[in-house]
Amino acid sequence: MPLPKWAGVIASLLVWPVRFIPRNQSEQSSTRPFACDTGGNLIEQAITNDSGQFDFRQLRRSNYILTIDAQGYQPYSFHIELSFSSDRGVPIYLKPIPDDSESTAPATNISAHEMSMPQKARDLLASGGMKLYADKNPQAALADFQQAISIAPNFYEAYYQIGMAYLTLGTREDAEKNFRKSIEVSNDKYGEPVIGLASFLIDKGDLEQSESMTRHGLELSPNSWFGHYQLGRILFAENKIADAQKSAEQARSLAPNAALVYRLLSNIHLSQKDYPALLQDLNSYIKLDPDSPAGVRAKEIRNQVQQSITKGTLTPAASPTH
């Protein structure tokens, strides 16, 4: 039976009116909701209204990280999966930062390093992110990112975004150069550009080096579900099926609503001839993404597998592999 062939996804609309309840009205003006992609790259920044509500509109169907940041409060981040329909949020309650917050800094996708950069540089990073990801204008975004590093030369997050802008423009050499610059300026403490470079090596077929770099990126960003997913892809391509499954399952545990993970798991379980598990993967994918071309293809594959099992041309695995 051939491997599943997945199609691309189509655009969708997200409306996310989340009620944010701060300690007092005066602090709402400093509330900053961000929608990022799964690599932590800013897609759009919203503005809260007087009641603390905000929304993001005209986002593509994908996985996102929503981060709420407010002065005097612990930042809050969580993953969301945007499928074919609009999605509505629930109240989010931020906890005040304790007096000893310096010794117990909360985990956040808006890093302490980024928050330490000059406000003007951070504003340029945010505006560049909107131009790159929301407006689809990488050339204009590039100008903002470059101005940001002219203000803050050690702003390694901006170098990473410059790389992403060049990647969007199709200038892979410049993208790679800026990913490497981001790593250099961060003293190799920032995992996103490491994982970004590793993806280039996958495309070039250098799986050994890509695996090494992805593992290093995960050492720097251990909760990066995309890093674990990418490692699973590499291991699967290297025919290290059991290890690929472990990485894919780790990605699933970090982002259970990331449809991409179930694509990888479906290929793994197909290679193991674990057809009951394959059907579970397909069901999970279809639940998350039922109506896109990829979702329609998943339904076709599921029907083929079910019919083949019924006819006896496929023998289900005696014991599930996970």
Q: What are the Cα distances from residue 308, in Å, to 2, 88, 313, 314?
A: 13, 40, 5, 5
Q: Do domains 1-107 and 203-311 have the same CATH topology?
A: no
What's the CA gap between 318 and 99, in Å, rounded? Answer: 57
pLDDT digits (tens, 9 = 90+) for 221-261: 888 777 898 899 999 999 999 999 999 999 888 878 778 88
What's the CA gap between 41 and 34, in Å, rounded? Answer: 10
- CATH code assigned to 1-107: 2.60.40.10
Instruction: Name beta bridge partners: 79.
Output: 65
Topology classification of domain 203-311: 1.25.40
pLDDT digits (tens, 9 = 90+) for 93-142: 566 655 443 333 333 356 678 888 998 998 999 889 888 866 779 999 99
Binned at pLDDT 50, 70 and 90, residue 183 comes out as very high
Average pLDDT for 7-11: 31
pLDDT of residue 241: 95
Residue 64: closest CA among 44, 38, 84, 32: 38
pLDDT of residue 112: 74
Q: What is the domain partition of the chain in residue ranges?
A: 1-107, 203-311
Binned at pLDDT 50, 70 and 90, residue 283 comes out as very high
Instruction: Name beta bridge partners: 321.
Output: none
pLDDT of residue 153: 96
Binned at pLDDT 50, 70 and 90, residue 150 comes out as very high
